[in-house]
Amino acid sequence: MKAFVVDKYNKQGILRLAEMPAPDIQDHDVLVEVHAAGVNLLDSKIRTGEFKLILPYRRPLILGHDVAGLVVRVGSKVRKFRPGDEVYARPRDGRIGTFAEFIAINEADVALKPKNLSMEEAASIPLVGLTAWQVLVEKANLKKGQKVFIQAGSGGVGTFAIQLAKHLGATVATTASAASADLIKGLGADVVVDYKKDDFERILSGYDLVLNSQDAKTLEKSLNVLKPGGKLISISGPPDPEFARKQGLNGALRLLMRLLSRGIRAKAKRRGVQFSFLFMWAQGDQLSEITSLIEAGVIRPIVDRVFPFEATNEALAYVETGRGKGKVVVRIR
């Protein structure tokens, strides 16, 4: 099968279009014929080696974390899916590889594709949808009437998280350019701060939750918009000791994670708020909950551009510019 692979970690490197063996399936796997794959900044970070300490992949590595496609074969112990099912997924870490014609995925990571979405639209959802769900629902337990600040509202996570937070009954603030303001307000944002003109920490206050997806400077400033007892959840780092424990990292890496996050954890404690890091995980049941919301019209996908399979490198380069609104997708079939 054709696939785009990483041969070596390289900040300036491009993915190689290669002929790779079709994947074998294990007892609990489904073999998916890939129709479309979402493109994420995480793909770029893995290509450069940024996550090599916590995700030590062997190369050549097929890249790609979002998939929508057709089940063509199932393992002997699969009970939830059958050939012909249209599905979508974020394959678990260690088994990624959606920039390819086929991928084998554990059935626990898979959900039926929303009936009202195209393959390209469905492929835009899993990683960002699960990230938003795990921050807002699983970790923060966001309640009706609470206030949440979601950074980078026009990005992939932002466009999804705004809609989910509004569904949960929260007041939502976000940052975006003036050019994106109408899109963001249309998704339900109550307050849109123009990051090119205004400083969000001077405008926002008394928030229950911040979803941080930006740099260290923005992370620290986010502490100032929270009320006492509020929560700062970062999906862009730094990793914390709890993450290291859950990942089962060795002692040296656990110490490194503790040191990397020591400063922000101490500052959060002094302000009476909580800091935590979230690295999203594959979860088919949560994705099924998201499917229900999409089919009910509560959440709609925001797709910026769809690239052909042969232009996967161009799609990744476009994502790296940070100018996209919503998600970028590669059409494979």
191-238 pLDDT tens trace: 999 999 999 999 999 999 999 999 999 999 999 999 999 999 999 999
Which residue from 296, 293, 241, 300 is spatially nearest to 265, judged by alpha carbons?
241
In the structure, what pLDDT confidence band is assigned to residue 11 with cuts at 50, 70 and 90? confident
In the structure, what pLDDT confidence band is assigned to residue 186 with cuts at 50, 70 and 90? very high
**Residue 165: CB partners within 8 Å, gap ≥ 6?**
136, 142, 148, 150, 172, 188
Strands 61-62, 2-6: pairing kind = antiparallel
Residue 112 has pLDDT above 90, yes or no: yes
Q: How many CB atoms lie within 10 A of CB 49?
A: 16
- For the chain, domains (ranges, CATH) are 2-124+301-331 (3.90.180.10), 127-277 (3.40.50.720)
Which residue from 279, 187, 170 is spatially nearest to 235, judged by alpha carbons?
279
Cα separation, 262 vs 293, whole angstroms:
38
pTM: 0.97
Higher pLDDT, 56 or 231: 231
Evaluate whether 69 touches 32 at the Cβ level (below 8 Å). Answer: yes
* Digit-coded pLDDT (tens) for 255-304: 999 999 999 999 999 999 999 999 999 999 999 999 999 999 999 999 99
Matching residue, tokens 């730094």: 238
